[in-house]
Amino acid sequence: MTLANPGPGGRFGEFGGRFVPETLVPACVELEEAFTQAWVDPVFQTELGTLLSEYAGRPSPVTECPTLSEELGLRLLLKREDLNHTGSHKINNVLGQGLLARRMGRKRLLAETGAGQHGVATATAAALLGMDCCVYMGEVDVRRQELNVFRMRLLGAEVRTATSGSRTLKDAINEAMRDWVATVESSYYCLGSVMGPHPYPLMVRTFQEVIGTEARQQCQDLLGGVPDVVCASVGGGSNAIGIFSGFADSDSELVGVEPAGGAAVGRGVPGVVHGSTSYLMQDEFGQVLEAESISAGLDYPGVGPEHSYLAATGRARYESVTDTEVVEAFQLLSRTEGIIPALEPAHALAWVSRERNALSGRSVLLNLSGRGDKDVGQMMEILA
């Protein structure tokens, strides 16, 4: 572990904390205790380790990209989280939280989802562990990710449509939190990213650190050291934190890539929503702005508090790319390497592609957080 743990109350510097209604405070305290105990329990570690290897398919490989590397004039390595069961890094987190929920005696998993990747992963964990599952998804996302909606239902989950506000991820989180306030004694809120009230940012990071731990060793084997640059897309920021964690104590440059229409670090100022203090896109009065991105998974006006901390301290930097650049990157990787990426990691690739001159001759490790099958329908319309 190379990222520092938060201070008292879940603070990463001035960010983080536990800003939730009183009704939920005891549940957060209980969760913090349960997670802390489970994480040092060899029984839990064995259960989780077995599921990660035998069910999720870990470790995920690191893939060299000879054709694209030559085209871009740099050495590109992909951490293949797209090859996990359910098609993204989200499975790492939900297997951990699902096991934890079972230890805590909860029978119902509650989740929000944007693109549907976290929703599908949660529905999968619920099916595996014999639990009920309810996933909130914004009306706009239900429409643009109908394949994932069907997958969740096939897995036995109930998908509830959030029709308030911008009808995307932000509003799905609002609805999930309202459900949690009402069902806190029986439901477990399986949050999908490194956000929300303490201990979620720390806990989700811990479950995603497996990405960085593996990648550090894999880079050692392939490069004989660490890559010059480690980059990942950032919505809430769980895949980025996961891979950053393996290199935070090294000389690697850490770069998070946000969508231009949802650049909380790039365009936001500190604010408090969904349980923690972090950079937030908001107006002069504190009303949260609606994000706008081609990627449902990154369509969020906030960001996990630890990313705000890494940005404020300068350990990581955050860039943004446009939807047009993302569409090009999506096609570029498909054509050159035979890998169709999800629109989320296509953001990181879009940044690499745009900055190819600055990155010339350098080694770049990119977290390919998910596969693009879910986005093919949307891309068919865009490219038609």
Partner 1 sequence: MSGPGAVETTLRERRDSGGRVLVPYVTGGLGGDWTATVQAAAAAGADAIEIGIPFSDPVMDGPTIQEANDRALSTGATPSGILDRLRGLDVGVPLVVMTYYNIAFRAGLKRFAAALAGSGVSGCILPDLPLEEVGPWADAADATGVETILLAAPTTPDERLPLICERSRGFVYGVGLLGVTGVRDELASSACTIADRLKAVTDRPVLVGVGVGTPEQAVEVSDHADGVVVGSAIVQRMLDGAGPEGVGALVSEFREALDYAF
Give the catalytic positions in this structure.
65, 89
Q: Residue 19, interface with partner 1 (CB under 8 A)?
A: yes
CA nearest 112: which of 29, 179, 164? 179
Stretch that binds partner 1, among 25-33, 78-86, 146-154, 240-248 (CB under 8 A): 25-33
Q: Residue 285, interface with partner 1 (CB under 8 A)?
A: yes
CA nearest 173: which of 273, 294, 287? 273
CA distance 304 to 208: 14
Q: Residue 360, interface with partner 1 (CB under 8 A)?
A: no
Q: Residue 105, interface with partner 1 (CB under 8 A)?
A: no
Q: Which amino acid is at 69?
A: S
Residues in 26-85 at the binding interface with partner 1, rule: CB under 8 A: 26-27
CB of 119 to partner 1, least distance (A): 19
Q: Fill in the DSSP letter of residue 60.
A: P
Comparison of 50 and 164: residue with beta carbon closer to partner 1? 164
Beta strands in the chain (DSSP E): 11-12, 15-19, 62-64, 75-80, 108-113, 132-138, 158-162, 187-189, 229-233, 253-259, 269-273, 275-280, 316-321, 363-368
DSSP reduced 3-state for 49: helix
Stretch that binds partner 1, among 126-134, 228-236, 285-293, 360-368 (CB under 8 A): 285-293
CB of 176 to partner 1, least distance (A): 9
Kindly state the tokens that stand for 245. Answer: 């964690």
Please identify which residue in 2, 69, 161, 183 interacts with partner 1, judged by CB under 8 A. 183
Stretch that binds partner 1, among 55-63, 72-80, 217-225, 268-276 (CB under 8 A): 268-276
Please identify which residue in 127, 128, 181, 327 interacts with partner 1, judged by CB under 8 A. 181
Kindly state the tokens that stand for 282. Answer: 């908001």
Stretch that binds partner 1, among 13-21, 40-48, 80-88, 215-223 (CB under 8 A): 13-21
Residue with tokens 């949690």: 180
Binding residues with partner 1: total (CB under 8 A): 38
CB of 70 to partner 1, least distance (A): 47
Burial class (CB in 10 A: 0-12, 13-18, 19+), 6: buried
CA distance 143 to 140: 5
CA distance 199 to 194: 9
Comparison of 185 and 381: residue with beta carbon closer to partner 1? 185
Please identify which residue in 54, 221, 251, 284 interacts with partner 1, judged by CB under 8 A. 284
Contact pattern from residue 158 through residue 177 relative to partner 1, giving x for each residue in contact according to CB under 8 A and a dash for the rest: ------xx----x---x--x
CB of 139 to partner 1, least distance (A): 15
- Largest pairwise CA distance in the chain: 56
Which residues here bind partner 1, judged by CB under 8 A? 9, 17-27, 164-165, 170, 174, 177-178, 181-185, 269-275, 277, 280, 282, 284-288
